[in-house]
Chain A
């Protein structure tokens, strides 16, 4: 049974240029920051970066692994993007349950969530909510 303070099971992924390209193809988002090395080299990022929404997918995987359909139907997500993810970096998702309460006959779980890179720097931070169905 999930309790307040429980850690969410982390997921680690290396983000590759192939992942970024596949996300660009799926989304149609060919912003040169993500796909054009020469353009991206001359920006403050110094090279291409992953789409922020790609990292959200890793968070979603963590949440669905714990809450299943209670995440897919009724979940909420609020995040701030702190730092970019560059190809070759390792993204690790994590978080913990901060509150549990009943609402409309359902158990509701409030979580603090984050993604960090391999240097332990926050990539994004935020909160999420999921229900028990």
Chain B
């Protein structure tokens, strides 16, 4: 399918996006740590895939920005218009994110409005991992480029 921009006028309140899937590889965790300038290794007890508890290296929970940015939540054939920026963000971090985990994020458009000629879009989302645990819930307000 040909890639195209998802314009403000195309969005519908209540619209749900297909589940977005991403593996948080060791490389992603490392690059994120380097980008924010904190490469401290932190471990937490988390459930392994067979249900037993293991100590694993975990990322800062704000690594969630990688898979909950609007551009990532859209279907692959749609992209955000250039010039779009983030206005507000909220997160509830429920379970740690470890390298190798796979994130499945469900998102929907919660609101859209124009203020001072800026086009605002609200999106709510929740993410589960490959074990079915809810990793986080949250919402964002983005200013759409056009």
Chain A residues proximal to chain B, CB less than 8 Å: 13, 19-20, 22-23, 25-29, 31-33, 39, 43, 51-54, 56-61, 64, 69, 71-81, 84
Q: Nearest 10 CB-CB pairs, A to B? A: A53-B65, A57-B36, A26-B31, A22-B35, A23-B35, A60-B62, A78-B90, A52-B86, A60-B60, A27-B66
Chain A contacts of B60 at CB under 8 A?
A: 57, 60-61, 64, 72
**5 A–B pairs (Cβ distance < 8 Å), ordered by A:** A28-B72, A61-B60, A75-B61, A77-B93, A79-B90
Q: Is the CB of A77 within 8 A of B62?
A: yes
| B89 and A56 contacting across the interface, CB-CB below 8 Å | yes
How many contacts A-B (CB < 8 Å)?
A: 123
> Given the known A-B contacts A13-B37, A25-B31, A53-B62, are A69 and B85 also in contact in the complex, defined by CB atoms under 8 Å?
no
Most A-side CB within 10 Å, residue of B60, B63, B80, B96: B60
Q: How large is the interface on B (under 10, 10 to 19, 20 to 34, 35 or more residues)?
A: 35 or more
Which residue of the partner chain A has the closest CB to B82?
A32
Q: Please, how many angstroms separate the alpha-carbon atoms of A81 and B86 in the complex?
A: 7
Instruction: Please report the C-alpha to C-alpha distance between residue A51 and residue B71 in the assembled complex, in whole angstroms.
Output: 13
With the chains together, A27 CA to B85 CA distance in Å? 15
B62 touches A29 (CB 8 A): no
**Which residue on chain B has the smallest CB distance to residue A16?**
B37
Using a CB–CB cutoff of 8 Å, the interface residues on chain B facing chain A are 28, 31-32, 34-38, 42, 44, 58, 60-63, 65-66, 69, 71-72, 80, 82-96
- Of A52, A57, A75, which is within 8 A of B32 by CB? A57
A28 to B28, CA, bound (A): 10
Query: Which residues of chain B come closer than 8 Å to A52, judged between CB atoms?
Result: 65, 85-86, 89
Q: Do the beta carbons of A54 and B35 come within 8 Å of each other?
A: yes
Q: Which residue of A lies closest to B27 (CB)?
A: A26
